[in-house]
A and B are shown apart, each in its own frame.
Chain A
Amino acid sequence: MEFFRIHKDIPFMRHALKFNIISLLTFVAAVFFLFWNGLNLSVEFTGGTLVEVNYTQTADLEKVRGALAKAGHGEVAVQNFGSSHDVLIRLPLKADEPTAKAGEAVMAALDADAPGATLRRVEFVGPQVGKELAENGAMALLLVVIGIVIYLAFRFEWRFSVAAIIANLHDVVIILGFFACFGWEFSLSVLAAVLAVLGYSVNESVVVFDRVRETFKKARGLSTPQVLDHAITRTISRTIITHGSTQMMVLSMLIFGGETLHNFALALTIGICFGIYSSVLVASPLVMWLGVSREQFVKPKRQIEGANEDGAVV
């Protein structure tokens, strides 16, 4: 089997501007949704209590809400979690009562008015922990960005590192945009997925850049866009197969992983799809516009004293 039968280099760079405009529009839309809707942050970040209960029969959400309202828990979010038997109850932090009592209060209220619930899990996060997690998340993102920029600058050239990080950070924003747009819950595991996918799609750019460097070194007389086209065309088969394989694993998590892994897998899926697009079709034009050229890779030949034109020393 061979999926990719490409006769000659596909002129990707001819459409560089179009690709970048598409990605710019997506990016702007993502930023818009981030500001418009905001992220639906999970309890881990905001602080609060989360109670998951299981009913043997289909859970009556109205009854659960009623029971909780009666017990004085006004601002609760009650929803099904995965199946109609599982119910997830979210309680915000109360300023006057920051202790971990809410979980028991909920169970007591349910026992009284909506009996039959068994406790599956309780998560309580205090306000200081939530704030710390958000800060640490931002720090982790920053560290990844700096680390990758330094590594790529060291391994390739600053133009590559700047292009790769711009392309991949725009992926991150787009993932966040999706989560904001659809109101999916942004939890710690989603953050982990975002960071993992960031490292993963940067390696996509690395593979292309490796080829760019190789082509620059080996083939003379090619213009920069031609070199980029060649490098992308040569790696496209690997790109799609690799991402396809990773996506198979992620899809399996999406199908079998249940509710807990659902958003994690979702973030990965978006990240993988946009990762291919941006690391190949956005990063490469950026490199081109930043002015990459053959001279940056080929060391000038050392002149040997007394050498004739053929390079042979007599």
Chain B
Amino acid sequence: MNRYPLWKYATVVIALLIGLLYTLPNFFGESPAVQVSSAKATLKVDTQTLARVETTLNAAQVVNDGLFLDTVGVKVRLHDADTQLKARDLLEKEFNPDPENAQYVVALNLLSASPQWLTRLSALPMYLGLDLRGGVHFLLQVDMKGALTKRLDSLGADLRTLMRDKNIRHAGIAREGERVVLRFRDAETRDRARNALADAQPDLQLADQGEGEDLKLVATLKPQAVTRLQASALSQNMTTLHNRINELGVAEPVIQQQGADRIVVQLPGVQDTAKAKDILGRTATLEIRMVDDTAGALEAAQAGQVPFGTELYVERGGKPLLVKKQVMLTGERLTDAQPGFDNQTQEPSVHLTLDSAGARIFKDVTRDNVGKRMAILLIEKGKGEVVTAPVIRTEIGGGRVQISGRMSTVEANDTALLLRAGSLAAPMEIIEERTIGPSLGADNIKKGFDSTLWGFTAIAVFMIAYYMLFGAVSVVALATNLLFLIALLSMLQATLTLPGIAAIALTLGMAIDSNVLINERIREELRNGMTPAAAITTGYERAFGTILDSNVTTLIAGIALLIFGSGPIRGFAVVHCLGILTSLFSSVVVSRALVNLLYGGRRKIDSLAIGQVWKPQGSAAASPAAKSAAKVAAPVAATKAAPKQGAASPAAGKSGAINWGDSGGRGAAGKPDSGGKAK
């Protein structure tokens, strides 16, 4: 009766193997590495970079433990921390000859030291949270109101231009809070304006207000338009942050959206918060200037004599470019930049959208400079970089500019990104900051590990002492629970934090409940006179309902924490919920499989090694089966309890209602194969 079909054993074994496989990478620890990634969106790290890294290291006779290319960049595994530093300095010198103008990020990193075949199975170690590895965590709030105001301001300017173009006489256009109000003197003009607006600005919601001489048309952004605006503001800010953080040389920065208007930035290993904050808060500007094409000027500049009122820049292709200092247009006038294709030639191109004031200036500039080149520069930290320098073919009006020719799709994408990344779409504010020193991180790991270890040991010692073999089975089940939990966390690549470790410990402490329930139930059934084999079956069966109930209530609490928790609480909740699920499997299925293996094969089981089962004497008389069980299972208990017999029996008999022997008959009636009936 206590046998599992083969498939159940197979399931347990397979689950254990998978658990072991995915837990394994956590034991290998980490090896020092150096990572080379691109600092610029326009620069791609590819196999050539990989070859360059290899030759550089080989030339300096730095032995590496393997290098590879992934989505982030080139990673070189090194033997120890000293070689790591040496390699970093070498690569830094090779890839960034000019430290003022870094092209690549050369950063120290730690790579999992687990063997290749594990990595290929995507068995990776758990991802350690900042409180365990040290670093900086920022929560940034994007000022969406600011983004909206900015958009409405430029919209007001657009409307003014539109009214002028359509020859509609208005009595003033102004932004009032989150709406733009247009004033008119008569209803007819207002109608014309409304029609014109409906065509030109589909994003606007229009409403009439006022009467008599003071007629108003109130324009607000449609909710969809606001959502779109916020989404694009957020993604643009994130792109900008990405580009800036590259400068810090962080190996694995995390930049994530949180909620509708927040961005989480995590920089593992960074200690210098001041510099990080400075970089996060910096603004870059975009400038459009004219290129100086005067014959001989460029050569003079290259020779060292830069003509007055110009600056020498290097184009992306490496060609020098002489750019005038006078700024035609700044990035503030640029509302959007998107990659796309030319309507006629189908060449990849970048489409820019300027606001009305920008469009007017651009029209004037292009009219006067047909055939000449203009340069779009990204100025950051007072240093400029030429994003692109197209030739002006015709006069461009209307604020829609297309840059095309000699561009690949990738380049068009990069250029658009750079143009957009020029400045933050909306101001941001740091609303939460957490800096954890590296020593604290290591301390936290040790503390969390120690608590779990000693707690586990204490429980194991107690369980084995109290329940003997069944206690040992429970401990094994608890250990597999830990194995499954860690395997699951590694598989999901969930972030492990100190509260997460606390949750592992707590979950283990709570998971033992299931096994205690089972063991107590088996003892009780034995006490009630069941045969050992029947007691196992009934014990597991009866306990399961209770185990399920109690786990569900715990899970409800875990899920509530998961929904409403943030930051450290979330880590706790994730582990807690997963732990409850794994404990259901390990405490019921795995422990049952073990018990079945131990006892299921025997034809006749004399007793269970579940520790001493004490029996009050009153019950022995009540059920004949109990007598035999008492004889085999707990002779010591029976004799010990004997003196009390006289006191116990009459009491039991007097109450008549219920005594310790009552369920023996109950079990027998319910289970045809149980001890009570067989006798």
Contacts and interface: CB of A to CB of B under 8 A. Distances in A.
B561 A140 contact: yes
Nearest to B514: A242
A258 B644 contact: no
Contacts of B466: 1, 3, 241
Interface in A183-232: 188-189, 191-192, 195-196, 198-200, 202-204, 206-207, 210, 215, 218-219, 221-222, 226, 230
A91 to B, nearest CB: 13
Contacts of A104: 273-274
A119 B561 contact: no
A122 B564 contact: no
Contacts of A143: 560, 563-564
B517 A207 contact: yes
A256 B629 CA distance: 44
B658 A192 contact: no
Nearest to A147: B556
A124 interface: yes
A248 B506 CA distance: 10
25 contacts: A1-B465, A52-B440, A103-B433, A123-B434, A125-B431, A126-B430, A136-B565, A140-B560, A189-B499, A196-B557, A196-B576, A199-B557, A203-B513, A206-B550, A210-B549, A234-B524, A246-B512, A248-B459, A250-B455, A250-B506, A251-B455, A252-B454, A253-B505, A253-B506, A261-B502
A119 B437 contact: yes
Contacts of A126: 141, 429-432
B566 A136 contact: yes
Contact of A155 (B443, B450, B549): B549
A249 interface: yes
Interface string A137-174: 10111011001100110010000000000000000000
A260 B498 contact: yes
In this complex, the member of B433, B450, B663 whose beta carbon has the largest number of chain A beta carbons within 10 angstroms is B433
A241 B616 CA distance: 20
Given A144-B560, A188-B567, A258-B443, A248 B462 contact: yes
A148 B553 contact: yes
Contacts of B641: 5
Interface string B616-660: 101000000000000000000100010010011001100101111
Nearest to A215: B658
Contacts of A204: 550
Given A104-B273, A210-B546, A124 B517 contact: no
Contacts of A18: none
Kindly list the 8 A-B residue pairs having the minimum CB-CB distance in the complex, ordered from nearest.
Answer: A199-B557, A249-B509, A203-B550, A252-B455, A126-B431, A249-B455, A140-B564, A124-B433
A255 interface: yes
A89 to B, nearest CB: 13
Interface string B489-525: 0000000001100100110111011001100100110
B435 A122 contact: yes
Interface string A79-109: 0000000000000000000111001100000
A8 B659 contact: yes
How many chain B residues sit at the interface, stated as a range, is: 35 or more
Contacts of B432: 124-126, 129
B129 to A, nearest CB: 13
Contact of B552 (A8, A125, A151): A151
Given A139-B564, A196-B557, 17 more contacts: A2-B613, A7-B652, A103-B273, A118-B439, A119-B435, A124-B430, A125-B432, A136-B566, A192-B499, A192-B573, A196-B554, A199-B558, A248-B459, A249-B455, A258-B447, A261-B502, A264-B499
Contacts of B555: 199
Contact of B557 (A103, A118, A198): A198
A54 interface: yes
Contacts of A245: 459, 462-463, 509, 512-513, 516
A1 B463 CA distance: 10
B551 A203 contact: yes
A7 B618 contact: yes
A175 interface: no
Nearest to A50: B434
Interface string A1-39: 111010111000000000000000000000000000000
A1 B439 CA distance: 45
A121 interface: yes
B444 interface: yes
Contacts of B568: 188-189, 192
A52 B506 CA distance: 26
Interface in B52-92: none
A189 B463 contact: no
B614 interface: yes
Contacts of A144: 556-557, 560
A75 B558 CA distance: 37
A147 to B, nearest CB: 4
A246 B506 CA distance: 7
Contacts of B651: 7-8
Contacts of A136: 564-566
